[in-house]
Amino acid sequence: MPMAEMAGTPHRRPTVYDVATDAGVSAMSVSRVLNGNGNVSSQMRRRVMRSVAKLGYRRNENARSLRPGQRSGLVGVIITNIENPYYAQVLLGIEDALDASDRRIVVGLSHGDPDRETRLIADFAGRQVEGLVLVPCGADAAETSRALGDLPLVLASRAHPGLDADTVVIDDREGSQRGVAALLEEGYRRIAFLGNDEQVSTSQRRFEGYQQALGAAGIAVETGLVRRTCRDQQSSAEAIRGLLATETVDAVFCANNQVTTGVLPELVAWQRRHPNRALIPVLGVDGFRMSSLVEHPLMLVEHDARALGRSAAELLTNRLGPKVAESAPRVTLTLPTVLRQEHS
């Protein structure tokens, strides 16, 4: 049984010196054994390991990373909202990729609050994270840079023009365009857009895809059919209610899965109340669990959130590695989307 568990022992965890004393060697030898690099006799190794096990010793990674040149093995990840399974997937991908270099993740949730985001960045920097993966929520670039200092940064899912950082995004403009074009081909004309405001770059790109598809079909964007107030499921539900009450709608384009999942129940309920109106199909960006159970016409612009997280983490570890100069040109990865007819 490790000493630490013995009753009455005062609460001080064993240090290299405790191990050294117990093994009758120097602290330095303990360090060498534990790191596996230096030349150590196999006999020394055995003695030290025995004491390590006996005392229940564990290296203090914080003290270790105090020495210059030592890595903390910690990476900060700031996402907006983990409730959204999309970001959970991103996190999963990040974890996946970082595990390869044996780094751990400190998570922060900005909840979409730029001030909170900035505070988290500063906090993480103080905790000596080696770098940061950020899903930005619209904080001022200058403030973000200040909080970052010299921390390597990778932006995931959303770009930020003002920030000089590696970025992974999906080609949602193109995906949106293809999706809307598909609706147009099926004969739908009055296609509504439901999304977040222009600040959110993803929403903006998806709106552009919408515009371009309409433009290519010679249709002007009708402002009455555009609602850019959808911040979550709640506001999306309100938006579709308002839309259905005031406009004639042929089809609905939902710019993200929060919007889709907010809109669908409302829309389905509305159609039940108006059984002789034609079905209003939904085009959504991002998949969601159980989408296959939806009985309403639904088409999805999907992509691999996990791969996005993985790519972001890989960009970061590259940047952290010895090979890439800190000043190497920034990279932007654009991942493709897939259009899928979920239900028709």
Q: Give the position of tokens 């005062």.
A: 10
Task: Pick one of a copy of itself, DNA, none as the site partner of residue 333 (Cβ within 5 to 8 A by kind).
Answer: none
Measured from the CB of residue 334, what is the shortest distance to DNA in angstroms? Answer: 38
Read off the amino acid at residue 102. Answer: D
What is d(CA 46, CA 24) in angstroms, rounded to the nearest whole number? 12
Between the CA of residue 188 and those of 15, 183, 184, 210, 218, what are the distances in Å?
71, 6, 5, 13, 13
149 and 125 Cβ atoms separated by less than 8 Å: yes
What is d(CA 183, CA 199) in angstroms, rounded to the nearest whole number? 26
Task: Pick one of DNA, a copy of itself, none as the site partner of residue 22 (Cβ within 5 to 8 A by kind).
Answer: none
Q: If we measure between CA atoms, which residue out of 74, 79, 105 comes closest to residue 90?
A: 79
DSSP state of 296: S
Measured from the CB of residue 170, what is the shortest distance to DNA in angstroms? Answer: 39
Mask for 146-175, x = binds a copy of itself (CB under 8 A)? x--xx-------------------------
DSSP state of 186: T
Measured from the CB of residue 30, what is the shortest distance to DNA in angstroms? Answer: 7
Measured from the CB of residue 245, what is the shortest distance to DNA in angstroms? Answer: 58
What is d(CA 40, CA 35) in angstroms, rounded to the nearest whole number? 10
DSSP state of 25: S
Task: Pick one of a copy of itself, DNA, none as the site partner of residue 127 (Cβ within 5 to 8 A by kind).
Answer: a copy of itself
Measured from the CB of residue 62, what is the shortest distance to a copy of itself in angstroms? Answer: 4
Measured from the CB of residue 259, what is the shortest distance to DNA in angstroms? Answer: 44
Q: Which stretch in 17-25, 59-67, 197-205, 329-337 sits in contact with a copy of itself by CB under 8 A?
A: 59-67
The reply on whether position 89 binds a copy of itself by CB under 8 A is yes
Name which position in 41, 50, 66, 189 contacts a copy of itself (CB under 8 A). 66
Mask for 111-150, x = binds a copy of itself (CB under 8 A)? -----------xxxxxxx----------------xx--xx
Q: Give the position of tokens 């919408």.
A: 210
* Nearer of residues 20 and 77 to DNA, judged by Cβ: 20
